[in-house]
Every structure is written in structure tokens, then in C-alpha cells.
Structure 1
């Protein structure tokens, strides 16, 4: 008989590290398939912060979207994965665009976008297809709450007028009132696929931005309904919203009304 254990999503990073230590052969597979809360690093050359994940990792170093360099520095960086020159220019434009999106919608936080080339298996001459990931992270000022958005995307260009976008979006929410008391943690995963018109390479960023905005809005509303709505219902069931004095006043009025009716 096989038994399954459900781990607390708040400790997903710690549990993942423990599992990889138990079975190192599963490290690459787990890191590429299990989404964990994003970590922040800093570009030593540019000075700006960037998000790290398995998609911009090579060994124990991570590529910055700002300077296009790995930190900590690798001895054989020339052998590390980099986007093609054409895709790198699109990546720069995407990071600048989502940095504006982050500032407008999150009013803070950190964003990073990474692209990588993807060959068409059916048509090896088509170098327009690519894949990537859009990362967004926002933490509260007291570090007791965080929101992590991970949007893994695949772009399949169809001719010169349209492209199909496949997105797998993960939202990781972690809220804590106090480490020893109330906490609320969990994640949602949704997939989206749309075919949209394009006029040039920059159209991809507009389309990706529109899809990310739509899915984040839907997931935010769903999280609010599932987590906060249910929590509010539970609190309402176990605790009266009226104060003790209000309840006593209601009982007194009810008693007086009964006496009045009995005297009629």
C-alpha cells in the first residue's frame, strides 16, 4: 500500500532541498518541474535586482537580464546558455516593458524576463519560435507576506501575421500574521493558449503582456474567492460579528417585546 504525504506549501523550498539531498539523481527533474517562491539576487555590474529560478540557472550561477552575465561568475561562461543576439534584444525590450508593468500594478517588487531559442522540430529553418518565462515578486514591508508569479511561455510563429502563445502560470501566495500563529499559503496553476496577430517582433511583447495581465487578474480574483472568501465564512461561523453588549441589548428588547405581547 502506497501512502502519500501532503507537505505544507509554506515549506516547499525547504522540503525540495531535503528531497534532492535524499536522491540527487532527481535534482534536475525536480528543479525544472516544481515551482518554488522566487529568490532575489543583484546584478554586480548594473546594480539592479533580478529574480532567479531554474530557467536562468547554469550550475550554481544565475544569468542577470540586465547585464546578460552570470552571478557568481562562471569560469567557462562562454559554454553557458545565452539567447541569440536577436532574441536578446527582444529580451531587453521585454524586461523594460514588464518593469513598467510591475511598477504600475505592484507598486514595488521585482520583475525579470528570460527568453531562450527554440527550434521548430518540423521546420528547422524556422528560427522565429522561442520560449521564455516572466517572473514577478512582491513582498510586504514586514516580510510576512509575498506574491510570486511565474509565467512559463512558448511562442509558435505561424507565418508573418500571427503566433500562438502557450502559457503555464503559477501564483504562489504566502501570508503570515505571525510565524507561531496564523498563516495562509498555497498556489494556483492555470494554462492558457491563444493565437494573436503580430506585425513585428515587438508585437510578441504586447501580446505576452496582455495575456499575463489577463491571467493574473483572473487568478487574483480566484485566490480572493477561494482563500479569503472561505476564511471569512469560517470566521463568521465561529465568531459573532456583534459585540457582547449588542447581543445583550437584543435579548433585552426581545424579552420586553414578549412581555408586551403577553399583556395585550
Structure 2
């Protein structure tokens, strides 16, 4: 009998569970099999958590890419800090070494300068496209370039029983070449929508989508990197939003429309009969 791969089994289980509670399911799996902690945290995208920078007072987003132990690095101050209440999942740096709070790996001076400019650029992007929400950008060094993640979160203002949350996670690598750079972008959108009223009851639509692209773009200086990354993220978000609206939402609307109706079944059958009678009369 073939040996069961615990990691593959855990991922398969997470795909079959309600995506709205991914963080809870992930913590449960980690408590059952602690040896899978780092593999699961680095492979499973979770809804983003908001924290406030103690130095600047600005909100930023927590994820595995700016975490070291119970500490998270603020993109605004560049320093590690432990959020109130703690997260308690442990962590490693880019080299796989466990480190204490406040001692995590930080980007080089050049990469940190680009990180600061990227945060400023995507803060404008967030305001223009999302009209609110929180954004954070984190960079780190690679041997032949640099990598990073662009995070965006928007929570819709609840109205009655309706609520919604959008989390987008864009992880990229930029490999420097002569006058160009090769970019590899992996984007994930985590969406949760719920609504309800007396006629239709409650409906919950949750899920995630991941897409990946690679592209070679011209580079003159470090500013070009910021513009290139911004263009890639903007184009990818537009494609994924259109795909969600046209395919996923459209399909969900068709399924719900076939299963549920505000009108009574008697009225629907009467309308159907009238429609068929008109068609038959036109054929005579």
C-alpha cells in the first residue's frame, strides 16, 4: 500500500472545506501535524489581517512574507513589531533560520528604497481603484535580483445582512538582465460575499482564484522596476476581476436562478404555459 503524503492530504482537505474559514482550518491542521507548519503556511493563502504601525500610526497587512515568529515587519517603518494579542504561529527567515522578534531578515538598502517607493505608489493605486482599504508591499533580496509581494485588502461596509471582503496577494520575482528584467508574477484573489433578505434567505459566496504570468520588460533604473510591477499587478487584477464577474458570478447567478425564485411555483408554471401557448399559436 502506498504511503500517504500528509502534506498533499492536508492541501486536498483544505480545498474541500469552506474557504471562508481557511485560517481556522489551517490552524487545526497545524495543531494536528506540527511538522507541516512551515510548508502549509508558505503554500496556503489566507485572508489578510490588518495591524497598525506603532511608529507611524498607519495600517498595514500581515502575511507570511513579513512575518518572523510572532513579529511582523511594518512597510512604513521597516521595523518588526508584535501585534497586540500576538499570532503565535512561529516563523523562519528567507534562509530557513528561526529568529526572535525584532531580528528578522530585512532587505538591503537599495531594495528597501524600492520598497518604500512601491508602498507609496500602491497606496495611490489602492485609493483610486478600491476607494479605501489597506495596501502593503514587501521586498526581499535574491541572488540575481529581488522578489516581493503586493497585498491589497478591502472590506465592504456592511449594510443590513450584506457583507464582503476582497484580499489580493501578488507575489513576484524580478531577475535582472541586460537592460531588461524577467518578472514572474503569481496572483491570488480571496473573495467572500454574503447577503440575505426575507424573500431569498441567506446566500454565501466564497472562494479563491490563482493565476500566474511571466514577462520580460525594459529597465533603465530602479524606478522602472516599480512601474513594471505596477503595470503587471494592475493588468492581472483587471483580468481576474473580469473573470470573476463574467464566469464565476455569472455561473452562480444561473445556478441560483434555476434553483430559487421569488415568484411562486404556480405562477412560474402559469407563465411557462402561457409562453408555450403563444409559441404554438404562431406555428399554426
TM-score (norm 2): 0.79
Among 177, 182, 189, the residue aligned to 1:164: 182
Aligned partners of 1:165, 1:145: CA distance in 2, in Å?
31
Aligned partners of 2:228, 2:27: CA distance in 1, in Å?
36
Q: Is the 8 A contact 2:81 2:101 kept in 1?
A: no
The alignment partner of 1:211 has SS state of: helix
Superposed structure 1 runs of 4+ greater than 3 Å apart: 1-5, 73-76, 238-256
CA 1:245–1:211 in structure 2 vs 1: closer, same or farther (change >3 Å)?
A: same
Aligned partners of 1:174, 1:61: CA distance in 2, in Å?
27
What is the count of residue pairs matched by the alignment? 249
Aligned partners of 1:253, 1:137: CA distance in 2, in Å?
47
Tell me, which stretches of 5 or more residues in structure 1 are unaligned?
Answer: 121-128, 260-264
Which residue pairs with 1:195 in the alignment? 216
Matches within 5 A, 1:97-112: 97-112=121-136
Shift of 1:250: 8.7
Shift of 1:25: 1.4
Matched, 1:139 2:180: no
Aligned partners of 2:249, 2:101: CA distance in 1, in Å?
49
Matched, 1:230 2:251: yes
Q: Larger Cα Rg: Structure 1 or Structure 2?
A: 1
Aligned partners of 2:39, 2:271: CA distance in 1, in Å?
63
Q: Is the 8 A contact 2:156 2:163 kept in 1?
A: yes
Aligned partners of 2:234, 2:271: CA distance in 1, in Å?
50
Tell me, which stretches of 5 or more residues in structure 2 are unaligned?
Answer: 84-98
Q: Is the 8 A contact 2:71 2:101 kept in 1?
A: no
CA 1:182–1:131 in structure 2 vs 1: closer, same or farther (change >3 Å)?
A: same
Shift of 1:181: 3.1
CA 1:18–1:242 in structure 2 vs 1: closer, same or farther (change >3 Å)?
A: closer
The alignment partner of 1:175 has SS state of: strand
CA 1:106–1:250 in structure 2 vs 1: closer, same or farther (change >3 Å)?
A: same
Matched, 1:183 2:204: yes
Which residue pairs with 1:155 in the alignment? 174
TM-score (norm 1): 0.84
CA 1:99–1:71 in structure 2 vs 1: closer, same or farther (change >3 Å)?
A: same
Matched, 1:47 2:47: no
CA 1:154–1:245 in structure 2 vs 1: closer, same or farther (change >3 Å)?
A: same
